[in-house]
Structure 1
Amino acid sequence: MAAAGLFLPAQGPSEVAAAAQALSLPAEAFGNDPRVELAWAMKAHQHAQVYFNLISSVDPKFLNLTKVDDQIYAEFRRTFRDLKVDVLDPEELKSEPAKEKWRPFCLSFQGVVEDFNFGTLLRLDCSKDYTEENTILATRIQFFAIEIARNREGCNSLVYSSAREGVAEEVASG
């Protein structure tokens, strides 16, 4: 899987442990430390890879991403009733008017969803994998809200079906 154009060097257990420890410290402790940026990129890449593998392996309509999926989905669709989630327009996440609408939504999950504002990679077109062209940075709660909607509304089913077809073809030819 190509993940957002991030081609990270292989990391050993000690580097991963150090990165995880660094990510637990307050942001003020670092300024613009490139090691922290690399640690964040590694964690975001790993999260993206795990999530894509999950929706490729399990029918997404049966997935629960958090303990509060129902609450996230209800509030998301109440706030963003007409937001098209299959193919996202970056302006719906990043423009000033969008940010003003997203900010109270995101803050309403502070203390409810762990790391609700942590930077996370989000696919723009849910029928495709993570690539540099198909990825945008979002907060974790935006990721959860959009991916829960994609799962419940059947948008991620194409990824699962394609993966199942690929497995069936391998079995038939092998």
Structure 2
Amino acid sequence: MADLSGFNANEIQSIGGAMQTDASKYGNREDVEIQWAMKAYHHAETYFNLISAVDPKLLKLTQLDDEIYKLFRESFSDFNVELLNEDEMKTPAAKEKWRQFCNQFEKKVEDFNMGTLIRLDSKKEFSESNSTIVVRIQFLAIEIARNREGYNDGLRKISKS
């Protein structure tokens, strides 16, 4: 993961403000990409610390967890949340299926389509080789399923060792 120690408080605060601005105004600016990466990394780190500290089955990630989980498992009954396969998730058919699922939450989940890091292997910590980018509602659907189905249960043992 990226080393964020070189940024001071003012830079981090500036990043937060920039992340609230309409993305279409930026184009492909490197500083914006770095700001997004920092925000995504912070979110990933915070979430991992949370699921490593408490019983994931008790976590509520949104007010809509039950609905997200129900619709996710209705749409993706055989989806392997334990070990994500990026190639399978990025086929044209899978992208269309995910798009239909995600768009149900456009007005319900804040930043539903914001890029978010997710672990590929639920048994392992975040790392460069064990993460990929998904939109926020995909992250929520997969992580709610992992929490409810017990795939994140072993993380407390990792963090204690």
Normalised by the size of structure 1, how large is the TM-score?
A: 0.89
SS at match of 2:154: helix
Q: Which of residues 65, 72, 75 in structure 1 aligns to 2:68?
A: 72
1:79-94 map, 5 Å: 79-94=75-90
Deviation at 1:77, TM superposition (A): 0.2
Number of the residue aligned with 1:15 = 11
Q: Deviations over 1:115-138 (max 9, x none)?
A: 000000010000001111111100
For the pair shown, the structure with the greater C-alpha radius of gyration is 1
Q: Percent identity?
A: 48
Partners of 1:61 and 1:162 in 2: CA distance: 17
Q: Are the counterparts in 2 of residues 122 and 135 from structure 1 also a CA contact under 8 Å?
A: yes
Q: Deviations over 1:62-117 (max 9, x none)?
A: 00111110010000000000001101111232221110100010111001111000
Partners of 1:158 and 1:72 in 2: CA distance: 23
| Consecutive unaligned residues in structure 2, runs of 5 or more | none
SS at match of 2:57: helix
Partners of 1:140 and 1:33 in 2: CA distance: 22
Partners of 1:38 and 1:93 in 2: CA distance: 25
Q: Aligned pair 1:35/2:31, yes or no?
A: yes
Deviation at 1:29, TM superposition (A): 1.0
How large is the RMSD of aligned CA atoms in angstroms?
Answer: 1.1
Q: Aligned pair 1:121/2:117, yes or no?
A: yes
Number of the residue aligned with 1:112 = 108
Partners of 2:3 and 2:91 in 1: CA distance: 28
Partners of 1:14 and 1:158 in 2: CA distance: 37
Q: Aligned pair 1:131/2:160, yes or no?
A: no
Number of the residue aligned with 1:101 = 97
Normalised by the size of structure 2, how large is the TM-score?
A: 0.96
- Count of aligned positions: 161
Q: Report the residue type matching 1:104 in the other structure.
A: Q
